[in-house]
Amino acid sequence: DGHIDDIARFVNPATIVCALEEDPKDENYRPLRENYERLQAARDQDGRKLTVVPLPMPGAVAYEGARLPASYANFYIANGVVLVPTYNHPNDRPALGILGELFPDRRVIAIPCAALVAGLGAIHCVTQQEPEGLR
């Protein structure tokens, strides 16, 4: 089970952050690397190359022996802020820094989500955004 909002996210029309596992021994290493390489080769609707920014993974987060879908890509963009799930992992700080650079006009706020992700989702999943209707 892989949610797209745990794997890759547009941060603007030409830039995507993509979860990338750095540990070759991790089960997610190969599939996330393949996703990253595919996105690097992708083009937008006008044939322009996209900017793909790697976003580290927080390492394995488990509950009762089952690996949970922990990812920094499950952030939520709100009015003036970006709420980013964190997991008490050394990659929390680098992930927050990357997202801070990508959202310079927003405050990036860390939200501890190790317990929340036991429900199989983090901030973006639980907010269930609905776009404003047409008037």
Q: What is the pLDDT of residues 62-94, one digit of tens each?
A: 777 876 668 899 898 888 999 999 988 899 999
For residue 119, the model assigns a pLDDT of 47
Output the CA torsion sign for 124, 125, 126, 128.
positive
Q: Does pTM surpass 0.75?
A: yes
pLDDT of residue 89: 86
Q: What is the pLDDT of residue 115?
A: 66
Q: Looking at residue 134, what DSSP letter applies?
A: P
The CATH number of the domain covering residues in 4-127? 3.75.10.10
Give the residue from 88, 93, 97, 96 showing the smallest Cα distance to 117.
88
Active-site residues: which are they? 125
Element (H, E) at 1: none
Q: Is the pLDDT of residue 121 over 70?
A: no
Token pair 């390492």 is found at 59
Q: Is the dihedral of CA 36, 20, 54, 118 positive or negative?
A: positive
Q: Which of 94, 11, 110 is nearest to 52 (CA)?
A: 11
- List residues bridging with 111 in a β-sheet: 85
Whether the pLDDT of residue 134 is over 70: the answer is no
